Amino acid sequence: MKKITILFALLISGLFAAAQDVYKQKGYEVTFISKDPSFSPALKDRLIKTFFEVYPKLAKEYNKKTSKKVTFVIDTAYDGVAATGNDTVVFSAKYMAKYPGDIDVVTHEVMHIVQAYGNSDGPGWLTEGIADYARNKFGVDNAGAKWALPAFKSTQNYDNAYRVTARFLVWIEKNVKPGLVKTLDKQLRDHTFTNDSWKNLTGKTVDELWAAYAANPTI
């Protein structure tokens, strides 16, 4: 999810009244804060394990300067799925209890920490598409959550974000420009991305790329 400063001001208020545990492994640290006394200890362990499995890989692949300290918050008042800002991921306690197999919410959300685009002028759909691209590539149990990239449909467009954009990026990497996602990610972080980036990097505009993808969307 996108960073939402006001949301975090509300979500993290009263945070330190909740139970906190700190875990460290190979130079990385996650502070786990639960506002839900009934939250499953087994699910907590899986979320933490997923963090230590995927976060170092994402850091190595995309941004070695990413924060080494991350906070997870299980919030009973949050009605979304998860939201990320200020190196903190807030998970909906209700969502995670209903969908305990969806542990790669972690992968998507901590990718936002790695992205660290700040006040980037880049499009939000691309930010979310890259995060789901990373989930598809580095997720530890997408199958267990019945999560997969969607089949192409003529009603889709590249700016639909999330999995639709992620599949488009997979296609570009395979058929047009290997390594494009890493380059776009770096440009977004460095605030050098423009609408001309697609043309400069691939020889085609994003609309031309989508037209080619729509004509033969096999990945």
Which segments within 62-203 are labelled E, that is strand?
A: 69-75, 82-85, 88-92
The answer to whether the beta carbons of residues 56 and 138 sit under 8 Å apart is no
pLDDT tens figures, 72-100: 999 999 999 999 999 999 999 999 999 99
Name the residue with tokens 């933490």: 48
Name the residue with tokens 């306690």: 93
Model pTM? 0.91
Residues 36 and 67 in one domain: yes
* Confidence tier at 134 by pLDDT (50, 70, 90): very high
Name the residue with tokens 């394990």: 49
Q: What percent of the chain has pLDDT over 90?
A: 90
Give residue 157's domain range: 124-215
The C-alpha atoms of residue 90 and residue 87 are separated, in whole angstroms, by 10
Nearest CA to 163 out of 175, 146, 177, 179 is that of 146
Which 8-state DSSP code applies to residue 154?
T
pLDDT tens figures, 158-183: 999 999 999 999 999 999 999 999 99
pLDDT reported for residue 30: 98
User: At which of 96, 115, 134 does a domain end?
Assistant: 115
Residues 84 and 50 in one domain: yes
User: At which of 115, 148, 167 does a domain end?
Assistant: 115
Residues 71 and 159 in one domain: no
The C-alpha atoms of residue 142 and residue 150 are separated, in whole angstroms, by 13
pLDDT reported for residue 46: 98
* Confidence tier at 47 by pLDDT (50, 70, 90): very high
The C-alpha atoms of residue 110 and residue 28 are separated, in whole angstroms, by 13
Beta strands across the sheet bearing 82-85? 19-25, 28-34, 69-75, 88-92, 82-85
- Please count the structural domains in the chain: 2
- What's the CATH number where 102 sits? 1.10.390.10
pLDDT tens figures, 2-44: 444 444 554 555 554 577 999 999 999 999 999 999 999 999 9
For residue 63, count other CB atoms closer than 10 A to its CB. Answer: 18
Residues 134 and 204 in one domain: yes
Q: What percent of the chain has pLDDT over 70?
A: 92
Average pLDDT over residues 47-54: 98
3-state secondary structure of 182: helix
| Average pLDDT of every residue of the chain | 93
CA quadruple 154, 197, 3, 79: dihedral, nearest 10: 10
pLDDT reported for residue 42: 98
Nearest CA to 44 out of 3, 100, 88 is that of 100
The C-alpha atoms of residue 46 and residue 31 are separated, in whole angstroms, by 14
User: At which of 88, 115, 142 does a domain end?
Assistant: 115
Residues 167 and 101 in one domain: no
